[in-house]
Structure 1
Amino acid sequence: MDQDERLRHSSSFGAAATAYAAHRPDYAHAAARWALEPAPGPRVLDLGAGTGKLTATLVAVGADVTAVEPDPAMLTELRRAQPEVRALAGSAEAIPLPDGSVDAVLAGNAMHWFDMAVAGPEIARVLSPGGILAGLWNVLDDSVDWVAGLARVSGSAAVGPRDTPASWRAETADMHLPKTGAPARFGSPEQAWFPHGQRRTADSLVATLATRAGMLVMAEREREAALGRIRAFLAGRPETAEGEFTLPMLTCVLRVRRR
């Protein structure tokens, strides 16, 4: 994805901020704890915080959280959902915090949107020595048969790179971490993943997938056709045809320490 295309996708969420807040999942608490385990202190920046899904998880595990989000509509939803959290307008490329002011920088389903040539030095600037940078991604557990079928039917716009465990491991092995000056600023990356799940109905799962960036930037006719295929698949599976079910997921973590 080139720079213009990445910007088009990353800026698409504001138009769906209310739906994003209503339907996107939180993150496994065990994943957040693992991400923060080596951090030298409790001060955590949730960077690209969206509507506060990861923010809520960080609060729940006892972190002292500041949230930074560039999109005004997403930031409004975050402040509504997490009024006790300090929430600031800003971006990964221009973080509105002083040098060395946080012990960890975490990003939930957001690090792949950062321009790391600019964001890497900014993140290093606000981190204290020994601080942690970690990206968290909720991915579908396609070891479950019906989830693998859903991934095939949905297409890459709804279930794309990083959205299943194998593709996540490959996509994050050499990507999404600071490149410029990285050897001097950060150590070797670590990956881990933790079981997670979200209670859904067929309708609410369709609504969740409709908030993916690839779906949001689609032409309306194409998007409705894709969502129609997903609805038909869910209606035809005994696991999802009626009532509530748990969508099997993993929260996957990519973690690196600032030198």
Structure 2
Amino acid sequence: MQHRQSARPIAKSMTDCVECPNRQMSELCDWHGAVASELKTIKHTVVYRPGQFLFYEGHAALGLYILCRGRVKLTRSTAKGQQRLLAIVEPGHLIEKHLFATGSLHEATCETLEMSEVCILDRVRYLSLLERYGHVAVKLLQLLSREMVAAFEEADQLAFASARERLVSLLLELAERYGEPVCDGVRIALQLKREELAQMAVLTVETTVRLLQALQADCLIRLRGREITILKPDRLTAQGVHQLPSAVA
């Protein structure tokens, strides 16, 4: 599979984890004392421009990636050679969860959506740290376990939700995370292609376009190119599933 060459990052960041504004939001980063001091020695932080690639599906993983600032998207190739959007990752999260084993390969391609800062941990030295600080390892296991349970619950709900419920739930989740109040509703600041919305809602592009047009005809949303504004959040909420099938990590 052919990829565009990944542009060089802007620069290495000199930001210390202790000074990071997102540190307390992440269970992976909120450490003090000896753990914080040692983490500082096994990581480097890099700043990327929008549209740059951190890594590609199938390539060898060079370390563990934590998003400190910005947003990135994970995509994966389908059997037909198309790219499927798996998730949008927010600050404080591991970008991929499976890279602890020696010889791990990236399961997805990672591209920045905006100016982003990424902390890259040396895997071998991080595993050594986990061996010596048991409470860090326990916290990591608890975090990964919660995410696995949530993923199974979301899969169950997707199986029983209608196409309209899936799309409505996705729009509500995007509005909650990326919404900006406007005079007549909530504008979703994150602009996605129709194909990307379809992938996140596990629908065809044709069904997604049809449902968006129907929601607009019902005066529930307004479409302007890729920009989506939710006009009546309360009415839209009544049409979604109770637990949103999250496509955002």
Tell me whether the two structures share a fold, i.e. TM-score over 0.5. Answer: no
Taking structure 2 as the reference length, the TM-score comes to 0.31
Higher relative contact order (CA 8 A, sep 6+): 1
Structure possessing the higher radius of gyration over alpha carbons: 2
TM-score (norm 1): 0.30
